[in-house]
Amino acid sequence: MASALLLLPVLSAAFLIVALGPRGGGASTLRLDIHHRFSATVRRWVESRSGAAVGWPERGTVEYYEALASHDRAIRGRALSDAPPPITFSEGNATLRISSLGFLHYAMVSVGTPSVTFLVALDTGSDLFWVPCDCLSCAPSASMNQRTDFEFSMYSPNMSLTSQKVPCNNNLCELQSECSGATSLCPYKVAYVSADTSSSGTLVEDILYLMTEDARSEVVEARIVFGCGQVQTGSFLDVAAPNGLFGLGMEKISVPSILANSGFTSDSFSICFGRDGIGRISFGDRGSSDQKETPFSVNKVHPTYNISIVGISVGSTATKADFSALVDTGTSFTYFADPAYTQISGAFHAQVQDKRYVPDSRIPFEYCYYMRYGSDKVMSSSLGISSLCSALYTNL
Ligand SMILES: *[C@@H]1O[C@H](CO)[C@@H](O)[C@H](O)[C@H]1NC(C)=O
Ligand SMILES: *[C@@H]1O[C@H](CO)[C@@H](O)[C@H](O)[C@H]1NC(C)=O
Ligand SMILES: *[C@@H]1O[C@H](CO)[C@@H](O)[C@H](O)[C@H]1NC(C)=O
C-alpha cells in the first residue's frame, strides 16, 4: 500500500491533536539508560561538568533521603496530574512551510552521536521516519542548498557512536520476506502516492534528541528506529522532503508510536500550522479539556487519521455531508471527491465576486479567478485557501 505524500500548492491552518492507534509490543528492542538522579553515574557527570557536585547530598544522610523524597513527590505529583510533560525536538518546536519544497511543513530534527541535524517534512499520511543516509541516490545537495538557507545533511550509521543495527528478526521489520537471514540488516521500501516517489534502504536504531516543554527544557534522548534512506526516487530528488521525511502515522514504527510505547510521552501529539506558515509540534500533548473532538475510523491493518465529515460550510452556505477524509500533512492541498467537490466548488464559485480565469490546461485547477487587490483575505477566510486558485480536485 502506498503511503500518502502528495504535492502541490496550499494548505490551510489546521490544529490537530492526534491520539495514536492500536498498540502492540514494539518497545522490546528499545533501550533507555535510566540513572537515578542521585546515582553515582549522575554525580560523576555533574562533577565532570562543574568540578564539584555542589549541594549534592551525601548518600545515607538525612539530607540525602530528604532530597530523594521531595524529588519523588515532585515526580509523583506530576504523574498524577498530567503524566510526563510534552516533549518536542531539541532544535525547537517550530515547524515551517517551505514553498520551494512542495509547500510542505518542515521541522529540524537531530539524530546520532555526534548529532546530525536534518530539515524533514512532517507527514501524518505515512509512518516511517527516514533521512538521506550512505547515499546511492539522494537529492543533489548542491542545487538544493540554493533553495533554502539550510545545508542538507546525510546520516551514516558508521559515523554515529550510538547507532545500532536493526536485524530482520526485529519486530519492527516489515520486509522480512526480503531478508537473507534473521540477523541481516532489515531492509525497508516505502512508495508514496506522488508519482514514482519512494525511499528505500535499511532500518537503523539511534538516538533522537528531544526536549521537555516544561520550564526545565530537559534534554530527552530517545532511541528510535528509522530509515537509512540510501535510494530516493521521484519528488524526493527535487521538490519535496530532500532531507528526509518524518512519518507521524499511527503504525508502531512511527516516532510518536515509539515515544508512546517506550513511555517517553502519552500516546498523542499536536501540530499546529499557522496561516503565516509557521507552526508548532509537541509530542505527548493531550490538548485542552474544552477542545472539540472527532473520532478516527481506525482500520486495524493499516490505521490512518481517517475522520468522518458530516457537514460542510462555505462562506454563508452550510450543507450536510457524509464522507470520510484523511488528515494528511504530507499532501500539500486538499482533495475532495464528488459529490463533495461539486458541492464545495459550486458554493465557493457562487460567492466569489471576482472574474473567473479562463481555464488553462497548464493550471491543475478548475476554479481560478482574477483577484482584486485585497480580496485574498476574503477568499482565504471562506475556504482556508490563500492562493490564486481554489485548490479543489475531483475524481480521486
Ligand atoms: C514553542 O517554543 C517557544 C520557544 O522555545 C515557546 O515560547 C513556546 O511556548 C512553545 N510553544 C508551545 C506551544 O509549546
Ligand atoms: C560500515 O561499516 C561496515 C563494517 O565495518 C562496512 O561493511 C560497511 O561497508 C561500512 N559502510 C559504509 C557506507 O561505509
Ligand atoms: C475511512 O473510514 C471509512 C469508514 O470506516 C471507510 O469506509 C474508508 O474506507 C476509510 N478510508 C481509508 C482511506 O481508510
- List of domains in the chain: 5-79 (no CATH), 87-283 (2.40.70.10), 306-394 (no CATH)
pLDDT of residue 265: 93
Kindly report, residue by residue over 176-217, the tens digit of the pLDDT. 999 998 899 999 999 988 888 999 999 999 999 999 999 999
For a mutational test of ligand 1's pocket, the pick from 91, 213, 282, i.e. the residue with the most ligand atoms closer than 8 A to its C-beta, is: 213
pLDDT of residue 287: 86
- Please identify, by atom number, the ligand 3 atom nearest to the C-alpha of residue 304: 14
Q: Could you count the other beta carbons within 10 Å of the beta carbon of residue 274?
A: 13
225, 258 contact by CB (below 8 A) = yes
| CB-defined site of ligand 3, < 6 Å | 297, 299, 304, 306, 324, 326
Rounded Cα distance between 113 and 158, Å, is 10
- The per-residue DSSP string of 118-133 comes to EEEEEETT---EEEEE
**Which 8-state DSSP code applies to residue 339?**
T
328 catalytic, yes or no?
yes
What cell does 264 get? 517517553
Distance of alpha carbon 373 from its chain centroid, rounded?
Answer: 36
- Please identify, by atom number, the ligand 2 atom nearest to the C-alpha of residue 134: 13
Judge residue 114's burial from the number of C-beta atoms within 10 Å of its C-beta, 0-12 exposed, 13-18 middle, 19 or more buried: exposed
Whether ligand 1 lies within 6 angstroms of the CB of 213 is answered as yes
Report the separation in Å between the CA atom of 93 and the middle of ligand 1, taken as the mean of its atom positions: 6
Taking the CA atoms of the chain, what radius of gyration do you get in angstroms?
A: 24
Q: Which ligand is nearest to the CA of 269?
A: 1
Residues, the chain: 396
pLDDT of residue 4: 59
Rounded Cα distance between 122 and 95, Å, is 9
pLDDT of residue 274: 86
Kindly provide the b/e burial profile for residues 347-375, where b requires at least 16 CB atoms within 10 angstroms of the residue's own CB.
bbeeebeeeeeeeeeeeebebbbebeeee
Kindly report, residue by residue over 281-337, the tens digit of the pLDDT. 999 998 888 888 889 999 999 999 999 999 988 888 898 999 999 999 988 778 888
Rounded Cα distance between 389 and 7, Å, is 15
Nearest to 245 by CA among 91, 102, 142: 102
Catalytic annotation, pick one of 72, 123, 134, 276: 123
191, 197 contact by CB (below 8 A) = yes
Report the separation in Å between the CA atom of 357 and the middle of ligand 3, taken as the mean of its atom positions: 35
Report the separation in Å between the CA atom of 308 and the middle of ligand 3, taken as the mean of its atom positions: 9
Nearest to 175 by CA among 190, 186, 164: 186
How many alpha carbons lie under 13 Å from residue 225 in its C-beta half-sphere? Answer: 32
Report the separation in Å between the CA atom of 194 and the middle of ligand 3, taken as the mean of its atom positions: 20
Whether ligand 1 lies within 6 angstroms of the CB of 282 is answered as yes
131, 243 contact by CB (below 8 A) = yes
| Ligand 2: residue whose CA is nearest its atom 7 | 158
**Which 8-state DSSP code applies to residue 363?**
S
What cell does 53 get? 557536585
Rounded Cα distance between 45 and 64, Å, is 18
Whether ligand 1 lies within 6 angstroms of the CB of 280 is answered as yes
Q: Which residue numbers in the chain have pLDDT < 70?
A: 1-82, 141-150, 372-396
| Ligand 1: residue whose CA is nearest its atom 5 | 92
Nearest to 281 by CA among 132, 119, 88: 88
Residue type present at position 90: S
Whether ligand 2 lies within 6 angstroms of the CB of 159 is answered as no
For a mutational test of ligand 2's pocket, the pick from 135, 158, 165, i.e. the residue with the most ligand atoms closer than 8 A to its C-beta, is: 158
Nearest to 271 by CA among 284, 258, 259: 284
285 catalytic, yes or no?
no
Distance of alpha carbon 136 from its chain centroid, rounded?
Answer: 25
pLDDT of residue 148: 57
pLDDT of residue 16: 41
Report the separation in Å between the CA atom of 184 and the middle of ligand 2, taken as the mean of its atom positions: 14
Catalytic annotation, pick one of 285, 328, 338, 360: 328
Whether ligand 2 lies within 6 angstroms of the CB of 366 is answered as no
Nearest to 111 by CA among 52, 44, 45, 161: 161
* Torsion over CA: 382, 386, 392, 396 (sign): negative
130, 226 contact by CB (below 8 A) = yes
Residue type present at position 95: T
| Ligand 3: residue whose CA is nearest its atom 3 | 324
pLDDT of residue 3: 62
**Which 8-state DSSP code applies to residue 347?**
H
